[in-house]
Structure 1
Amino acid sequence: MTKDETRPAGFGALLWLAMATFSMGIDGYVLAGLLPQIAKDLDVSEPAAGQLVAVFALTAALAGPVLSALTGAWERKGIISASLAVFVVGNLVIALSVNYAMAMGGRILSAIGGSLLSAVVSAYVLAKTAPERRGRALSFVLGGFLAATALGVPIGLVIGQEDWRLPLYLVTGVGAVALIGILVNVPRLHLPALSLRETLKPLARPALVGSILVATGIMCASYLCFTYATLIFGPRVGEGPAIIAAMFGYGVVSLFGNIVSGRATDRFDPVHVISLIVGILIVVALLGTAGLLLPGAAGAVAAFAWFFCCAFFNGGSGVALQSRLGDLAPDAMSLVLALNGSGMQLGSALGGMLGGALLASGLPADGLVPASAVVLAATMVLHLIVSRAKPAARTA
């Protein structure tokens, strides 16, 4: 083991990793708000432009676990740098695209790099940080993604009104700076070399698969409402500044929830933190359902209160969920965290699809809030069942 590998991942290293997740956060949200401009420029329909968003999620869900399994024995800093480089190049291809096919190819390339980067960064932080501090370290690095939701995405949407390619240049620039910082400041790390069979062995444990499905359930309940938040807010506050304020506030509150959850996960068993988060989200959904029945300004206040409470606890769920998976499979963290990312992508897609189906069946937008409570209740039952599993011993 080299001297560099024995060096802990201090604040400087974590800061550059957080900048990498910040660039991914901008990329993950900004294009969805620029579909009309993209469709017009590339001469395709808006639904076709929307496939640039969908293909990223699908590619990431499929590529993340496969690439994590295949690269499990490789040095971690090298994997982080290479995957970030692929992600940056993919976004540059999209920004320079002259037609729809080129943009789609760049989107697939960026998803391949981003899916592996997300899993490896989380696994690196868990492996390189002392157990009593890893919750805060993980929340700091993942906070880059949430900070992008609060700050980077609004900036990207503003500059994107002039030219939809400008936010992609922003992502490319931030990612390139983060890559340089990682190459210079992040210590190297080798994890125990495992065969592909040994790497995949944790997937035979129902508790681990169940824990990934808990993340799917939380994200499904979240996106069941978040995807159609405009329909819930619109009748109460109108469209325009109030909606932008709600989305900006959601990102800020999510970031704060992430910070609090990181500290809580350091002090308490992540299983208990997850139980508390899911339980409170159920209560918030039920109270929100009642609050949305209020007329006039009271209903608008209730809508904001419900939305921001969801933001706080949804934003805080990621750290506890990933910390729990790190406990269950410490020797295959890259793979299980990649699978967790796939599970979350699946939950986001299922939430949007379920919400759309319910609205198409005639359910009013406000009815999505109690529907999310049903999904969360089922998720809580699953979590209580799988939480009985004990953490696995880490290979020396």
Structure 2
Amino acid sequence: MTPSDPPGGAPGDAQRGAPVPASPPGVPYRTLIWLAVATFTTGIDGYVLAGLLPDIASDLEVTAALAGQLVSAFALTSAVAGPVLGATTSGWEQRRTIMVALTTFVLGNLLTAIAPSYSLALGGRVLAALGACLLGAAVTGYVVHLVPERHRGRALSFVLGGWMTATALGVPVGLILGQSSWRLPLVLVSVVGAIALLGIGLRLPPLRYPSSSLGARLRPLAQPRLVAGLLVSTGVLCASYTCFTYAVLILQPTHRAGWMMIVIMCGYGLASMLGNAVTGRLVDRYSPVRVLTVILTALLVDALFGALALSLAAPMAVAVLSVVWFLLAGIGNGGHAVPQQARLAGMAPASVAVVMALNASAISLGSALGGGVGGLALATGLTPGHLPLITAAVLALTLPLHLLVARWSRTGAGARPA
């Protein structure tokens, strides 16, 4: 954005007469709260089923492995469909896009909740994933275009805070509500989503991105630096999920009680919320690149700390140090989202919806790779305590890639200094 551009809009909006509404002087929390509720519903939806797979398998008369494919189908659909839907709908009026996406998500959850058979439940998860992946990209693009750049970090962290809250509450809520029926959590997710839909319809102002052809919106995606920037998201999530997927195996030797694991996982979610809130404010004071550099460096140091603590510390010390390592990782993993999204949005301001959809796919890819890398490491004979060292290796590759993208952006033709 240049000084002559209108606050919160993409460069040149004023000259093209694009119908982007004038941005308020600060962060419109009363408006954005409904977007935060929407991201909360999609976030918690991704976690509530995790502890209920045995009940789902029993009710639908399938194996636990097949029930697990309900989760996998959601992630795979999101990764594949997100960029396509983001590109297709980026020319729409964006409040309508958000409402269509949220409606699709709610209907998909209701279909899963009432499904009498596995095939219908699977179809419901695919439908919900189509809505969720479009919603995530549309919400982020909406915030980037609506809020002035100097307040963008806080606005993004506020809206993404709904998703971070879901990471803290998803598994416990699913376990508690699922005691009577695994379908009940999905019904409640749908109810909350419907409430968010009503609030969005009443409170969100219409917003349309600058007029351009689909080819023009896709053109920035041919930039190698943007592709490399998206791979940073993949690297961070791969590093995160290498350990997060197997956190129970890593922590259980010193925290055997079931309630302790629930408390620790809630603590991880709260730590992610803290990281998200803090970096949202830092991005408004410093450049996203600088904030992201600090976070990636801290994550690398913390991974090395975790590897040493789990390998060398005495058993009593491991009980404490392992939790410290895990919670610090939560802060870093939660804190990277805002600066990374702000940096990617700045690379292609006219294609934010498409870029955010691709970023969501990069995140899904990283999550899947992390689980696969961790599983492969355990299958080859490594212990769960070795996984933080693999996380450190992934971050040791991701940090230089991030710095290369930053240097590329500074020296690229017409790029704003990072």
- Shorter-normalised TM range: over 0.9
**Contact 2:83–2:357 (Cα < 8 Å) also in 1:** yes
Question: Normalization by structure 1: what TM-score?
Answer: 0.97
| SS of residue in 1 equivalent to 2:209 | coil
**352, 358, 367: which one pairs with 2:377?**
358
How far apart, in 1, do the equivalents of 2:253 and 2:331 lie? 24
| SS of residue in 1 equivalent to 2:40 | helix
How far apart, in 1, do the equivalents of 2:73 and 2:18 lie? 40
* Corresponding position of 1:308: 327
TM-superposed deviation, 1:375: 0.2
* Corresponding position of 2:4: none
- 1:217-246 superposed Cα distances (whole Å, 9 cap, x missing partner): 000000000000111111111140111111
TM-superposed deviation, 1:7: 6.2
TM-superposed deviation, 1:251: 0.4
How far apart, in 1, do the equivalents of 2:174 and 2:351 lie? 36
**Contact 1:72–1:193 (Cα < 8 Å) also in 2:** no
* Corresponding position of 1:172: 190
**Contact 1:90–1:106 (Cα < 8 Å) also in 2:** yes
How far apart, in 2, do the equivalents of 1:139 and 1:153 lie? 22
TM-superposed deviation, 1:271: 0.7
Q: How does 1:71-150 map to 2 (within 5 A)?
A: 71-150=89-168
**Contact 1:330–1:393 (Cα < 8 Å) also in 2:** no
**36, 41, 56: which one pairs with 1:38?**
56
Q: 1:187 to 1:232 in 2, by over 3 A?
A: same
* Corresponding position of 1:222: 240
How far apart, in 1, do the equivalents of 2:248 and 2:19 lie? 53
Report the more deviating stretch, 383-392 or 284-293: 383-392
**Contact 1:19–1:178 (Cα < 8 Å) also in 2:** yes
How far apart, in 2, do the equivalents of 1:161 and 1:2 lie? 51
* Corresponding position of 1:295: 314
How far apart, in 2, do the equivalents of 1:385 and 1:3 lie? 36
- 1:242-295 superposed Cα distances (whole Å, 9 cap, x missing partner): 111110000011001100010011111111111111111110011111111212
| SS of residue in 1 equivalent to 2:52 | helix
* Corresponding position of 1:334: 353
| SS of residue in 2 equivalent to 1:74 | coil
How far apart, in 2, do the equivalents of 1:143 and 1:177 lie? 18
**Contact 2:20–2:146 (Cα < 8 Å) also in 1:** no
User: Counterpart amino acid of 1:194?
Assistant: S
Are 1:281 and 2:299 counterparts? Answer: yes
Structure 1: gaps of 5 or more residues = none
Are 1:382 and 2:401 counterparts? Answer: yes
- 1:324-369 superposed Cα distances (whole Å, 9 cap, x missing partner): 0111010000000100000000000000001000000000100001
Are 1:156 and 2:156 counterparts? Answer: no
Are 1:192 and 2:213 counterparts? Answer: no
- 1:145-193 superposed Cα distances (whole Å, 9 cap, x missing partner): 0111213442222111221001101110110000000000011101112
User: Counterpart amino acid of 1:195?
Assistant: S
User: Counterpart amino acid of 2:292?
Assistant: I
TM-superposed deviation, 1:98: 0.4
User: Counterpart amino acid of 1:378?
Assistant: L
TM-superposed deviation, 1:6: 3.6
Which 4+ stretches in 1 moved above 4 angstroms? Answer: 1-4, 390-394
How far apart, in 2, do the equivalents of 1:4 and 1:296 lie? 59
How far apart, in 1, do the equivalents of 2:149 and 2:62 lie? 50
**Contact 1:87–1:110 (Cα < 8 Å) also in 2:** yes
| SS of residue in 2 equivalent to 1:33 | coil
How far apart, in 2, do the equivalents of 1:315 and 1:365 lie? 22
How far apart, in 1, do the equivalents of 2:318 and 2:415 lie? 50
TM-superposed deviation, 1:296: 2.2
**337, 356, 361: which one pairs with 1:318?**
337
**Contact 1:81–1:182 (Cα < 8 Å) also in 2:** yes
TM-superposed deviation, 1:95: 0.4
Instruction: State the aligned residue count.
Output: 394
* Corresponding position of 2:365: 346
**Contact 2:87–2:353 (Cα < 8 Å) also in 1:** yes
* Corresponding position of 1:370: 389
How far apart, in 1, do the equivalents of 2:22 and 2:149 lie? 16
* Corresponding position of 2:8: none
How far apart, in 1, do the equivalents of 2:22 and 2:287 lie? 27
Q: 1:393 to 1:16 in 2, by over 3 A?
A: farther
* Corresponding position of 1:261: 279
- 1:52-107 superposed Cα distances (whole Å, 9 cap, x missing partner): 00011110011110011011111010000110000000000000100000000000
> Percent of counterpart pairs with the same letter?
51
**Contact 1:157–1:167 (Cα < 8 Å) also in 2:** no
| SS of residue in 1 equivalent to 2:51 | helix
Structure 2: gaps of 5 or more residues = 1-16
Note the aligned Cα RMSD (angstroms).
1.6
How far apart, in 1, do the equivalents of 2:22 and 2:150 lie? 18
How far apart, in 2, do the equivalents of 1:179 and 1:138 lie? 19
How far apart, in 1, do the equivalents of 2:390 and 2:276 lie? 25
| SS of residue in 2 equivalent to 1:32 | coil
